[in-house]
Amino acid sequence: MEVENLINSLLELAFAEDIGDGDHTTLCSIPASEVGSSKLLIKEEGILAGVDVAKDVFHKFDPELKVEVFIEDGAQVKPGDVAFVVTGKVQSLLQTERLVLNLMQRMSGIATITNKYVKLLEGTKTKVLDTRKTTPGLRMLEKQAVKIGGGENHRIGLFDMILLKDNHVDFAGGIKNAITRAKQYLKEKNKDLKIEIEVRNFDELNEALNVGGVDRIMLDNFTVEDTRKAVEIVNGRVELESSGGITFETIRDYAVTGVDYVSVGALTHSVKSLDMSLKAI
C-alpha cells in the first residue's frame, strides 16, 4: 500500500539522520545485554495520537521490543497519564526514544487542535478539512492525526483529486476553460477523480455553476455574509467549501451559513506539539 510505503521510507530516513553510524552515547554506556522498560508519560492535556506509529518505530528498529498499550489513539489525555510501556533492550529503547517522541508529540498536537475546531462546529453540518500545508515527508502521519482528532482529509496530494485553484484558472484562461479541460483530461485518461474549483467572487461562482460538471466549489476568502449569499445561490447543487484565513474565532460563523466544509491550513502548518516524555521505569 502506498501510505505504508511512504511511512516506511520516512522511518528509514528518520533513523538515518538521527543515528547515522551509531548512537555512540548509548553504545558506550549501556551493555548490549541490558534489558529494561520505558513509559510514555503525558505532561499536557490533549488528544493522543501516534500510538500505532510508535509501535511501528519500535518494531522496525527492534522486533523484540514489547509494547503494552493503556491508552489508544483518539483518547483525551491529561498530565500523569501513561499511554504505554515498552520493554526490551535498553540500547533499543534509547535509540528509538527521540523519534517516537517527535512523531507522537506533533501528531498529538495536530489531533488536539483539530478536535478544538471540530467541537466548535457541533450542531452544524460543516466538517473541518485539512490542506496540503504539511511538513514535507510527514504528510501521511499529519493527515492521520487530523482524522484522529475528528477532522476530515481533503485530498492527500496532487494525484487523488483535481483542485483547480486561482493560478490554474488564470493560466488556463478562465473558469470555463479550466473546467472543460479538466473534464476532457479525465475522459482521455479514463480516470475517476472528483473536480473542485476555487472561485474568488460571485461572477466566477455563477460561471462555474453554468459550466457545471464540478463536484465542489471552494469559496476563496469570501466574507461570512458573502458566504451566506453563495450558499443561497448554489442551493445544494454542489458541495461548498470555505477557505482562506478562517480562524478559531470565525469558523463557526462560516459553518452556520450552511457550507459543507471549512478548510483550515493551521491544523498542520502552525501546530504546538503536545508535551510528553519517555521515562525509564
Residues known to be catalytic: 98, 133, 165, 198, 220
* DSSP strands (E only) in the chain: 35-42, 46-47, 66-69, 76-77, 82-89, 127-129, 162-164, 195-199, 216-220, 239-243, 261-263, 276-280
Q: For the chain, first and last CA: distance in Å?
A: 37
- Inter-residue contact 103 to 276 (CB < 8 Å): no
Dihedral through CA 41, CA 45, CA 49, CA 52, nearest 10? Answer: 30
Q: How many CB atoms lie within 10 A of CB 232?
A: 10
Q: How far is the C-alpha of 199 from the C-alpha of 181, rounded, in Å?
A: 17
DSSP 71: S
Contacts of 1 (CB under 8 A, 6+ apart): none
Dihedrals φ, ψ of 216, to 5°?
-150, 145
Give the relative orientation of helices 90-120 and 51-61 as an angle to the nearest 10 degrees: 160
